[in-house]
Structure 1
Amino acid sequence: MLSVVVAPWGGDPVFARAGDEPHDAASTMKVAVLAALHRSGADLDARVPVVNAFASAAGGEFGNDPDWDSDPVPWSLLGRTAPLRLLAERMITHSSNLATNLCLARTGHAAVAGAWRRAGATHSSSPRGIEDHRARDAGLHNRVTARDLVRLLQSLDGEPELLALLERNAFRVDLAAGLPPGTRVAFKNGWFPGVRHSVGLVHPDDCPPYLLAVCYTGPLASGADEAEADPAARLVARISAEVWRRRHAVTRTPTGPAGATGTAPAARPGPPSR
């Protein structure tokens, strides 16, 4: 299943393909955790214990597997303390699963649900932590849609520090890879075998910014960190490149009846090159 939503920053989508189809959230839910944490009033400079034991949403405890984490830094701090700000940064810039659950333990699931509500999400939720398999087996699933991911980034308007952090995402292998080198983009991706998603706010130099969300669930997603090893990452990059090519149509001021949006559909992609 491939879902794509394109929208001008601050505007309604101009193109949607299966925009309300739910997908496993993968690491895109970390944006909602970040928003909830910053809005909670928590002291981000406070040092918190770095542990690997968390309350499961289904009762009991669970922990993360370091072999499934993309960031070794929080693991190197295990048994010590770290500033909450550092953990929030690694959650986004290096997609740390351990840091995510440490941040989630501080802010709580209710606050994350509030971040989704504030965004106006209709089909997305994050009822459990990363790798909480007990909760997953009990039917608690982290879900997102491409349309809700666009809404989530739109909801960060007025919080430039959060968008600035998203610009520092180190994994520039899918959405960002489809943009010209040096293009400013605030984005978050998520992946594991069978899933590859990315949502970003793109800032062209020659027109207003726009939003793109791509969610893919299927056999092309190898779960690899590198685009060369993940055909789904290359697919997302191709979609991103096509939307970039049509960026002026995507972001132009709408004309016509009140509430109408511009006409800038991104072309439906073909199979990715191998």
Structure 2
Amino acid sequence: MPVSSAYCDGVPRISYLAVDVAGRVLAAREADAVFYSASTIKLAVLIAAARQVDAGQLSLQLPVTVRDRFPSRIPDAGDFAFDPAEVDRGMPPVGGTISLAAALGRMIYASSNSATNMVLELTGMEAAAEALHLCGASSSRLERLISDHPARDAGFTHETTAADLARIMHTIVSGAAAGPASTRFMMKQLRRQEHSVIGTTLPAPTDWGSKSGWVDGIHHDVAFIGTPGDAGSYVLAVCTQGFEQEQAVEIIRSIAWAVQSGATVSLP
């Protein structure tokens, strides 16, 4: 049965794009279709922070105070907290500190919402928008903190496309998003991914890194496969809407398997 939520209308949709190191399209389906981005939009926050580190505006050693409440973009809405299922149990206690490097890591490999909001308040949303522009992700938007439901209900959203996710990942791994040290740092966090889908289909010892995202009715994943720059390496982004999570995971895996083998992707 199709799944609908505050993030999707329940109409099942599948979109993907695979491109090789030269930018040649290996496989594609409705790659410019717009979806709620879920946590894949955190890649823009990662790039924004990395670029500010390069500019000397931030330091990876900067201590960041751990918080679990954040102000809504809607002035009269006050502060908001996360649902219990969204709480990052791997974070230090509220009021303690964590380095910016550790916060960025948890944002990417553990998909921590609190870490994301802590970092985003440091970088500013404008810097994240500039990161999306740098990547050529023209259909992507980041307009509020994670889980700011009053802002969501007022129309402030996070959006992306499979094509944009592939562009963002390619910009990171090609070194075009930040300097060499920051690029290595970003790649390290992507390689530590704890919530991979595409990565689970890859034979050892394939080099890969990814960022996934999911909410009710939405599941996406974007990954680099193979050491960036090497012959045969590529980027794959898959977006799904309207499916139960287990079904969405199988769809993403099926696409990943087909792209790996060079087979024609056959989906409903």
Which TM class, normalised by the smaller chain length?
Answer: 0.7 to 0.9
Return the alpha-carbon distance in structure 2 between the equivalents of residues 218 and 70 of structure 1: 25
Map Cα deviations across residues 199-239 of structure 1 (whole Å, 9 max, x no partner). 00000799421010000011333xxxxxxxx1211211111
User: What's the offset of the Cα at 1:7?
Assistant: 0.3
Give the counterpart letter for 2:34 in structure 1.
P
Secondary structure of 2:141's counterpart equals coil
The 1:129/1:266 distance shift into structure 2, 3 A limit, reads farther
Return the alpha-carbon distance in structure 2 between the equivalents of residues 207 and 175 of structure 1: 19
Return the alpha-carbon distance in structure 1 between the equivalents of residues 252 and 204 of structure 2: 16
TM-score (norm 2): 0.84
1:193 matched residue in structure 2: 216
Q: CA RMSD in A?
A: 1.9
Return the alpha-carbon distance in structure 2 between the equivalents of residues 86 and 120 of structure 1: 28
Return the alpha-carbon distance in structure 2 between the equivalents of residues 54 and 140 of structure 1: 16
User: 1:94 aligned to 2:110?
Assistant: yes
Return the alpha-carbon distance in structure 2 between the equivalents of residues 10 and 55 of structure 1: 43
User: 1:237 aligned to 2:253?
Assistant: yes
User: What's the offset of the Cα at 1:43?
Assistant: 1.2
Q: Which moved more, 1:63-72 or 1:232-241?
A: 63-72
Bigger RCO (CA 8 Å, 6+ sep)? 2
1:68 matched residue in structure 2: 85
Secondary structure of 1:104's counterpart equals helix
User: What's the offset of the Cα at 1:66?
Assistant: 5.0
Return the alpha-carbon distance in structure 1 between the equivalents of residues 81 and 24 of structure 2: 38
User: 1:133 aligned to 2:149?
Assistant: yes
2:88 touches 2:112 (CA, 8 Å); kept in 1? yes
User: 1:36 aligned to 2:31?
Assistant: no
1:170 matched residue in structure 2: 194
Return the alpha-carbon distance in structure 2 between the equivalents of residues 66 and 78 of structure 1: 16
**Any stretches of 5+ residues in structure 1 without a counterpart?**
222-229, 247-264
Return the alpha-carbon distance in structure 2 between the equivalents of residues 3 and 70 of structure 1: 29
1:9 matched residue in structure 2: 21
User: 1:267 aligned to 2:265?
Assistant: yes
Give % identity: 32
1:51 touches 1:78 (CA, 8 Å); kept in 2? yes
1:47 touches 1:84 (CA, 8 Å); kept in 2? yes
2:119 matched residue in structure 1: 103
Map Cα deviations across residues 80-130 of structure 1 (whole Å, 9 max, x no partner). 111111111011111111111111111110000000000011211111111
What does residue range 139-150 of structure 1 map to in structure 2 within 5 Å? 139-150=155-166
Return the alpha-carbon distance in structure 2 between the equivalents of residues 25 and 19 of structure 1: 14
**Any stretches of 5+ residues in structure 2 without a counterpart?**
1-12, 176-182
2:93 matched residue in structure 1: 77
1:113 touches 1:125 (CA, 8 Å); kept in 2? yes
Secondary structure of 2:111's counterpart equals coil
1:182 matched residue in structure 2: 205
Which of 147, 161, 164 is the aligned partner of 2:185?
161
User: What's the offset of the Cα at 1:65?
Assistant: 1.6
1:257 matched residue in structure 2: none
Return the alpha-carbon distance in structure 1 between the equivalents of residues 39 and 114 of structure 2: 12
1:252 matched residue in structure 2: none
Give the counterpart letter for 1:9 in structure 2.
V
